[in-house]
Amino acid sequence: MVEKSNSSEDTIVIKKYANRRLYNTATSSYVTLDTLCAMVKNGQDFVVQDAKSGTDITRSVLTQIIFEEESKGQNLLPISFLRQLIGFYGDSLETMVPGYLESTMSAFAQNQDQIRQHLSENMGGANPFRQIEEMGRQNMAMFQQAMGMFTPFAGNAGNNAPPPSQPAAPEPMAENNRGDSVGGGGGAGSEELDLLRRQLAQMQQQLDNLSNKS
């Protein structure tokens, strides 16, 4: 299991030079993207800095590692997921996506030993990841539905195809004291935020249920 160190003293500094060469300051040697990929898998924490400006460019280097792995045929990112992720750039709720993805992957990583055991016990039988795949589709559908509440008047809101598996319908929105719907009331933002929180709580509950069944 890959574990990230919480101590900044254990964080290795990688310098990237203008010629794109990477230098490991801990070992005083040049390394490659494959080396950094292996370090991630081994749980070694590192940051990548521009050798000239000192700017943290860890995100772009990690993204480059993912690109290299995908180009080798290690296809972990489905095309549909990539399209949806690209669609979130520039969206009014794009700041919510990193937290959602991080919490989902963290839960998956924490339960990976149980998932591997479940996989070994079910070899030759039904696909042990079918439940995980179904839950992923439901979580994405719930997330899209939650985002739709914040953009109910978008011109293209009705043009998207329905998700493969629809989750249970959310609770009806409460009406304000004048009998108007949530979309027209002055407290719409607060009520929609409460509903979104309930949707995210349902996602977390599904992840907890998966952990108990594994």
- pLDDT of 168-192, one tens digit each? 544 544 444 444 444 444 455 667 6
Name residues whose C-beta falls within 8 Å of residue 62's C-beta, 6 or more positions apart in sequence: 40
Q: Are residues 184 and 85 in the same domain?
A: yes
Same domain, 44 and 111: no
Share of the chain above pLDDT 70, in %: 55
Average pLDDT, the chain: 74
Question: What is the pLDDT at residue 47?
Answer: 97
Residues 42 and 98 in one domain: no
Examine residue 1 and state whether it is found in any structural domain, yes or no: no
Q: Do 56 and 48 meet the contact criterion of CB atoms below 8 Å apart?
A: yes
Question: Is residue 177 one of the residues assigned to a domain?
Answer: yes
- Do residues 163 and 90 both lie within one domain? yes
Q: Same domain for 84 and 189? A: yes
Q: Is the pLDDT of residue 154 over 60?
A: no
The answer to whether the beta carbons of residues 165 and 135 sit under 8 Å apart is no
Is 65 in the same domain as 103? no
Residue 136 in tokens: 């992923």
113 and 165 in a common domain: yes
- Secondary structure (DSSP) of 90-137: T-TTTTHHHHHHHHHHHHHHHTHHHHHHHHHHTTTSS-TTHHHHHHHH
Tell me which of 13-27, 95-109, 174-188 is least confident: 174-188
Domain boundary among 52, 71, 90: 71
Report the domain count for the chain. Answer: 2
* pLDDT above 90: residue 63: yes
- Give dist(CA 138, CA 151) in Å, integer: 20
Q: Indicate whether 15 belongs to any domain.
A: yes
Q: Looking at residues 55-73, what average pLDDT do you find?
A: 93
Tell me how far apart the alpha carbons of residues 113 and 188 are, in angstroms, rounded to a whole number.
Answer: 43
Q: What is the pLDDT of residue 189?
A: 60
Distance CA 127, CA 48 (A): 39
% of the chain surpassing 90 pLDDT: 31
Q: Is residue 3 part of a domain?
A: no
User: Is the predicted pLDDT of residue 11 greater than 80, yes or no?
Assistant: yes
Range of the domain at 27: 8-71
Domain boundary among 71, 87, 117: 71
**Which pLDDT does position 2 carry in this prediction?**
46
133 and 59 in a common domain? no
- The verdict on 62 and 113 lying in the same domain is no
Instruction: Examine residue 199 and state whether it is found in any structural domain, yes or no.
Output: yes
Taking the chain, what is the end-to-end CA distance rounded to the nearest angstrom?
A: 17
End position of a domain, from candidates 49, 71, 93: 71
**Is residue 109 situated within a structural domain?**
yes
Q: pTM (2 decimals)?
A: 0.53
